[in-house]
Chains A and B, each alone.
Chain A
Amino acid sequence: DQQVKQNSPSLSVQEGRISILNCDYTNSMFDYFLWYKKYPAEGPTFLISISSIKDKNEDGRFTVFLNKSAKHLSLHIVPSQPGDSAVYFCAASENTGNQFYFGTGTSLTVIP
């Protein structure tokens, strides 16, 4: 059973606008969350993380929001750029665990 879900397989956004990618999880023991970005024919690269003691983490154009009560996190990209076009995966783990559980990914296209 998928413990981490990304319900939007794809998203198109105009350059300069905000991109919002969503992720839901079912396991209440998850307390550390990551976003990865993946270009075709390359491995995923780490983008941004958040732990459950926070509800927001910001890094430049990228902000991740965590709503623990709703078991929901989102990644905001502002402003979106064509180079942001990639597949984005969210991942979650328990503090005592070593394994991350991944969502199915959202393919973002930023239109120039």
Chain B
Amino acid sequence: DVKVTQSSRYLVKRTGEKVFLECVQDMDHENMFWYRQDPGLGLRLIYFSYDVKMKEKGDIPEGYSVSREKKERFSLILESASTNQTSMYLCASSFQNYGYTFGSGTRLTVV
């Protein structure tokens, strides 16, 4: 089974901090994605990557950046955390368009 691992289940950070969310997948998938989930808004795509060192903006990239230095790892960076970035963050990977495998999510609270 494909496994997508997100480094933290719960995080509490202060406003203005730089925050790193890490995601690792173990099935050599080319595609990796970062979403956030908020009540009533569903899953919104932040950034995605189809290859190493490649990144594409999703629907809500403002305030975020990403890094993909290795195929198995896709990092989401909050340059200066704000309270409106309090959310559930979900990482996913996929092979072509066979559907996503999601990680367990990181519940981030910015205070």
Contact = CB atoms under 8 A, between A and B. Distances in A.
Contact of A32 (B97, B105, B107): B97
A102 interface: yes
A100 B99 contact: yes
Contacts, number: 62
B105 A42 contact: yes
Interface of A: 6, 9, 32, 34, 36, 38, 41-46, 49, 89, 91, 93-95, 97-100, 102-105
17 contacts: A6-B42, A9-B40, A32-B97, A36-B102, A38-B37, A41-B9, A41-B88, A43-B6, A43-B104, A45-B102, A98-B96, A99-B33, A99-B45, A99-B97, A100-B99, A104-B41, A105-B42
Given A43-B105, A44-B102, A45-B102, 8 more contacts: A32-B97, A38-B37, A42-B104, A43-B4, A43-B6, A44-B43, A44-B90, A100-B97
